[in-house]
Amino acid sequence: MQQKLVPALLALEDGTLWPGFGFGAIGQTSGEIVFNTSLTGYQEILTDPSYHGQLITMTMPHIGNIGTTPEDEESNRVWAAGLIIRQLSPIVSSWRARQPLPDYLAERGVVAITDVNTRALVRHIRTHGAMRAAISSTTTNPEEVLALARAARDMNGLDLAREVSCAEPYHWAEAQDWWQPGERLAVNGEWLAVSGGRFHVVAYDFGIKRNILRLLGAQGCRVTVVPATTSAAEVVALNPDGIFLSNGPGDPAACTYAIDAVRELLGQKPIFGICLGHQILGLALGAETYKLKFGHRGGNQPVQVTATNEVQISSHNHGFAVDASTLPANVTVSHLNLNDNCCEGLSAPEHKAYSVQYHPESSPGPHDSDELFERFIEHMKADM
């Protein structure tokens, strides 16, 4: 049964108002408004902890047609503060679907709005930058919704990694083998890889996605996931072969505890960072970070590998970036974004560390950068 839509209003802190109809949970929500250009994968996006505190505008106009399924969740909950779309599909057409999107959001208390002119909205965000916003499906009074938007937290200086991280360490025991079937598997609890190797990776959870853990498992890794505030000494005590720095939300400069820990770990074991982990690595190496005007979010970002000039299409979700001009001389930019030339990757061989700003695990997105996980394995092999 199709959920009944109710009048709703989206308000941006600059005073602009965007009417529509509410679905999912009926209520109010606020956060930083951003947009994502992915054509598919709305459930993976909603459950990505990196979207904590953000209202996601999908540029794809037709959303909800494939429903939802537990297999597509990237964490144990929806982290996005709200969802903004152009048109909600009236039907679900997928053999994998277990629940329509409106019911899925309603059960999880997530407020969403449809029938918004998202083309105009995205152009507005691109021109004026990401800003605070609010959605209400309980009142369409402009003053009330605008006040809610202006009361939302500012992303600058905001440490959100603590809010999304696990409370206690845990072991990950699931491999993702679909992308190279049969070659990397967990059999009777034993992790097997093409190389026959067996590696223990300690993964910092700043908001880690499940597919990252699956791909580490698929490469023959035993993974211990630790909270964002775990000290360097605690990581060393776990005797890892490699250290992984995960994606996550918020301002990387606010994660001082993580920056200090990574600085202590530099050079001890191979380090691989993604997204927020990349930014934290950059800060630990002595660089600075800055907030992008509207960020990079989507599955179609062109990135150049500086060593080979190869161009890879990649999946992104970040609102901050490392300032390449502040990097020390022994650290190089390994990847560049071809849309705006911002730093998309770092290489610090003297410190046994490398990182990328984007998401090689995709989910959703292309798989041009799968080799980055294989490189991590090679680094751990060389260090043994």
CATH of the domain at 140: 3.50.30.20
Tokens 């499906």: give the residue: 137
Whether residues 171 and 207 fall in one domain: yes
Whether residues 72 and 191 fall in one domain: no
- Which residue type, as a one-letter code, is found at position 288? E
pLDDT, average across residues 5-27: 97
Q: Given a cut of 80, is residue 83 above it in pLDDT? A: yes
Q: Given a cut of 70, is residue 176 above it in pLDDT? A: no
Whether residues 83 and 104 fall in one domain: yes
Q: Please say whether the beta carbons of 316 and 330 come within 8 A.
A: no
pLDDT, average across residues 23-35: 98
Q: Which domain holds residue 39?
A: 6-150
Band (pLDDT 50/70/90 cuts) for residue 175 is low
Q: Which pLDDT score, from 0 to 100, does residue 2 have?
A: 67
Q: Given a cut of 50, is residue 41 above it in pLDDT? A: yes
Whether residues 106 and 169 fall in one domain: no
Whether residues 176 and 317 fall in one domain: yes
Which among 150, 172, 187 is the end of a domain? 150
- How many CA atoms within 13 Å lie on the side-chain side of 51? 31
Q: Which pLDDT score, from 0 to 100, does residue 174 have?
A: 66
- What mean pLDDT value characterizes the chain? 92
Lowest model confidence (mean pLDDT) among 8-17, 141-150, 160-169, 358-367:
358-367
Does 1 map to a domain?
no
Q: Catalytic residues, which ones? A: 275, 359, 361
- State pTM to two decimals: 0.92
Q: Given a cut of 80, is residue 121 above it in pLDDT? A: yes
Is residue 65 helix, strand or coil?
coil
Does 156 map to a domain?
no
What is the length of the chain? Answer: 384
Domain count of the chain? Answer: 2
Does 100 map to a domain?
yes
Q: For residue 83, what are the CA distances in angstroms to 10, 18, 58, 77, 319?
A: 11, 13, 8, 14, 18
pLDDT, average across residues 251-268: 98
Q: Which pLDDT score, from 0 to 100, does residue 59 have?
A: 97
Band (pLDDT 50/70/90 cuts) for residue 367 is confident
